[in-house]
Chain A
Amino acid sequence: MISKEEIKHIADLSMLNLSEAEIEKYTENMKDIVEFANSINSLDTDGVTESAFALDSYNVFRKDEIKESFDRDLLLSNAPSSNGEAYSLPSMTV
C-alpha cells in the first residue's frame, strides 16, 4: 500500500512540491489507482515478451548530414530568462 512517505519521495523525484493537504489527497487517490493498476497482476504473463510499441519496426536511422541549425533568437524567444546568447539561471556550482 502506498504511503505518504512514498508520495513525498516520488514528488521529490518529479520535482514537485506538495502541501500536506495535497500529499493527503494524492495518497488517497493513489491508493485507489495503484490498487486498480495491481489488477494487471492477475493476468498470467509467463513467457510473454514485453512490447514497447504496437508495431514491429526497427533500425530507423538518419544520414549523418548537417542540417542548418535554428536561429538562436527564435530558440531563445520563449526563455523566461536569457542574456541573448544563453539561457540564464541563478548561480549554481558549475
Chain B
Amino acid sequence: MRDLTAYKAHELNKMYQNKEVTVPEVIKAYIEKIKRDDGAIKAYITLCEDSALKRAEEIQARFDAGEKMGPLAGIPIAVKDNICTKGIKTTCASKMLENFISPYDATVTKKLDEEGLIIIGKTNMDEFAMGGSTENSAFFKTHNPVNLNKVPGGSSGGSAAAVSGHLAPVSLGSDTGGSIRQPAAFCGVVGLKPTYGLVSRYGLVAFASSLDQIGPIANDVTDIATLLNVIAGHDEMDSTSANIEKKDYTLALVNDVKGLRIGVPREFFGEGVSEEVREAVSKAVEQFRALGATVSECSLPATDYALPAYYIIACAEASANLGRFDGIRYGYRTKNYENLQDIYRNSRSEGFGEEVKRRIILGTYVLSSGYYDAYYKKAQKVRTIVKKGFDKAFEDYDILLTPTAPTVAFDIGSKINNPLEMYMTDILTVSINVAGVPAISVPCGKDKEGMPIGMQLIGKHFNEETVIRAAYTYEQNVKKEEV
C-alpha cells in the first residue's frame, strides 16, 4: 500500500480532488505514523487525534458534496506549541503552561481552520521559543529525524522535525532570531520567515514582540507558498500587522531566475562557518549563476553587531512579555505559598526553565536603571544601522544569499552547557529579524555524515515573491540527490 505520509500537501490536494484518497485516510495514516515514529523523534507535545479525525470527516463531507475547497483543505498541519489553539493545550513547552488551554484562537489558527487545514498536533520547541536546539523544552528533547543523535535545531524544532520525519506534510513555526530557518536547515526542509508584519502575531505567545513572526515549514517551496497564502494578511487585532494588499504567492512559483541580482554578503562566511557549509553554499551560488542569475559578493557591515543587539532587544522585550506568568490568572501556581510574594516568586522560579530565567535576567538587566542607554537604547540604534545596511544592499540586489546556520545539526547535549556558544549559532539568522526582512531556508546539500545544509535567501520587505521564486527555481533545477 502506498505511504500517504510521503506526499507533499499540493500532491495530497490533487489526490483529494481526484478522489484517489479521502481526508480521514490521510489523517489516519499520519496518526499511525506518528504513533510509530514519534516515540523516537518526539516532535509532538500534544497529538489531536480525536479532533483531527472528526474534522477530517467534516472536510471530506464537503469534498463529497462538491463544495469548492481551498488548496490546503483536508491537509494535516503541525502547529508550534506557542500558537494559541482554542480547546487544545498551548504549553510553550513550559511547565508554566503545562495545562494551559487557550480560551481563544490565534488569528493564524482561525485562518487554518477557515481554509480547512486540520491541526494534527502541537509541536515541541525550546521553552517560550528561547533556544536553538529544542533541548530547552521542559518536557523532552526532540530528535533530528535525519540522525536521531542530533538536535533538530530550534526553537521550532518540533515543527521542522515533524515535516522532516513525515509526521505532518506542513507545519507552522515562529521565528524571532532564526527559529524557523535554522531548524529547517538542520532537518533538511524548507522554512520561511515572512516580513515582520505580514502574518498576524495575535495569539502567538510573545517572546520578543518586535521580532517574532509566524511562518510555514514544508517539504517544498510550493507548499510554503500555498501555506503562506493562508496565513498572511492584515489583522486588526495586531497593531504591528501590515495593512497591505493580499497577494497570491503561488504566482511566484516560477522557474526562472534569469537576470535576478543575487548578493552574497561576505560577513556571512566568517570564522565559525564550517568548511562543508561554505562549500555547499558556494555550490548553490554557482548553480544560481548557471541558471542565469547575476551573482556577486557584497557587504552587510553591521552583521557582527546584529547578534548582541538582537539578544539585548529580544531579552528586554521577553523580560516584560513573561511578567504575566505570575500564577494568578492562568498557568502554573506553586503549591508552596502563604502570601502573594510567594505566589509570584515561587511560581515563576518553579515554572520557568533555566534558559528562560537567564533571558529574563539579561532582559531585566539591560532595561534596569543605569543600563538602559548603554544596552537597550544602543541596541535600538544598532537596529537602525542594520536596517540601513539591508536597504543599501537591496539597492543593488534582489536577493541576498547566505548559509542559514554556521554548521549542520550538532549532537544533542553538546552545547547545552554553554549558553553563549548556543547564542552564536544564531549569528547568520538574527540580523534578518532585526531588519524585519523575509528569508527562506532551502536545503542545499549534505555534509559527509549526511546531515542537511541549508542556504538562506533574503528578500526586501514584503517581497516574499522574489524569495519564493529564487527558492523554487533552485529546487526545480537541482536534483534532489544533490541536496
Q: Give the interface of A toward B (CB within 8 A).
A: 2, 6-7, 9-11, 13-18, 26, 29-30, 32-34, 36-41, 43, 45, 48-55, 57, 60, 62, 70-71, 74-75, 77-81, 87, 89-92
Contact = CB atoms under 8 A, between A and B. Distances in A.
Nearest to A42: B305
A68 B319 CA distance: 31
B242 interface: yes
A55 B383 contact: no
Contacts of B101: 77-78
A75 B326 CA distance: 16
Report which residue of B333, B357, B361, B434 has the largest number of chain A beta carbons within 10 angstroms of its beta carbon.
B361
Given A16-B357, A34-B365, A37-B311, A78 B420 contact: no
Nearest to A44: B385
21 contacts: A10-B361, A10-B364, A14-B364, A16-B361, A17-B346, A33-B419, A36-B308, A37-B312, A40-B375, A43-B382, A51-B380, A51-B381, A53-B240, A54-B210, A55-B195, A78-B100, A79-B328, A80-B332, A80-B333, A90-B338, A91-B339
Nearest to A17: B349
Interface string B230-246: 00000010011010000
Contacts of A50: 377, 380-381, 383-384
B435 interface: yes
Binding site of A, secondary structure by majority: helix, strand, loop or mixed?
Answer: loop
Contacts of A26: 357-358, 361
A92 B338 CA distance: 11
A39 to B, nearest CB: 5
Contact of A29 (B330, B352, B358, B383): B358
A10 B297 CA distance: 44
B344 interface: yes
B33 interface: no
Contacts, number: 167
Nearest to A82: B329
A77 B103 contact: yes
B374 interface: yes
B380 A79 contact: no
A75 B345 contact: no
B360 A57 contact: no
Contacts of A92: 339-340
Contact of B103 (A38, A57, A78): A78
A49 B377 CA distance: 9
A18 B346 CA distance: 10
Contact of B308 (A10, A40, A54, A75): A40
Contacts of B183: none
Interface in B84-107: 99-101, 103-104
B361 A7 contact: yes
Given A37-B308, A53-B240, 20 more contacts: A2-B365, A10-B368, A14-B348, A16-B361, A26-B357, A38-B308, A41-B374, A43-B382, A48-B381, A50-B380, A50-B384, A53-B436, A54-B210, A54-B436, A55-B196, A71-B103, A78-B99, A79-B328, A91-B339, A92-B339
